Amino acid sequence: MEYILQPWPWYVSGPLIAFTMLMLVYFGKTFGMSSNLQTLCSIGGAGKYSDYFRFDWKAQRWNLTVVLGAIIGGFLAAQFLSDGSAIELSSETISELNNLGFNEVGQSLLPPEIYSWENVLSVKGLSILVIAGFLVGFGTRYAGGCTSGHAITGLSNLQLPSLIAVIGFFIGGLIMTFFIIPLIFGT
């Protein structure tokens, strides 16, 4: 039990993610979380505005069920399967983020400087979440997949387009992390 409550090392987590993909493939489906964004838009009536949202969303109910499960899994893991230990980040990461004004680095999954209501309900804080979310939604559908669809499933299936997409993920992520995050948070 002790080992379950502690954070899981990469060599346990990575294979379990591969197993998640294997299960979905064995069930005759595929592992791709960002498709659900398209499905939710379609359910919301976006088909009136673009062919992209005109499809039988009911055929995607299985994937929405995976999302529902993922939310429940997040709840179970946080409530019952965690001992509250801090994330063992590298000391470089901690000191860099301290310098950028992050004060509780690794104490919880997400920085309160970005996700606490106090910060979210400011113009800057709200803009950060809205812009970040928009870029994720736009980018992942443009690229036709996200971390699960391209980085895990696509690469596992040796798809060149997925490798190109993952290179894109890193170009964007590196520019954001090295150059833009210091501008947003550094004072």
Partner 1 sequence: MKFLKFLLVGIFFGIVLVKSEAVSWYRIYEMFKFQSFHMYGIIGSAVFLGILFIWIIKKYKVKSIEGRDIDLAPKDKGAARYILGGTIFGFGWALAGACPGPMYILVGTGVFSMFIVIAAALLGTFTYGLLQKKLPH
Within positions 70 to 129, which residues make up the interface with partner 1, using CB under 8 A? 70-78, 81-82, 87, 89-90, 92-93, 96-97, 105-106, 109-111, 114-117, 120, 126, 128-129
Q: How far is CA 87 from the centre of its chain?
A: 17
The footprint of partner 1 on this chain (CB under 8 A) covers a number of residues equal to 127
Q: Using CB under 8 A, which of 1, 158, 183, 186 touches partner 1?
A: 158
Query: Residue 163 or 187: which CB sits closer to partner 1?
Result: 163
When asked if residue 135 is in the footprint of partner 1 (CB under 8 A), the reply is yes
Distances (CA, A) of 145 to 35, 37, 101, 140, 167: 7, 11, 33, 5, 13
E-only strand ranges, 6-152: none
Q: Which amino acid is at 54?
A: R
CB of 158 to partner 1, least distance (A): 7
DSSP 8: P
Q: Using CB under 8 A, which of 103, 122, 124, 133 touches partner 1?
A: 133
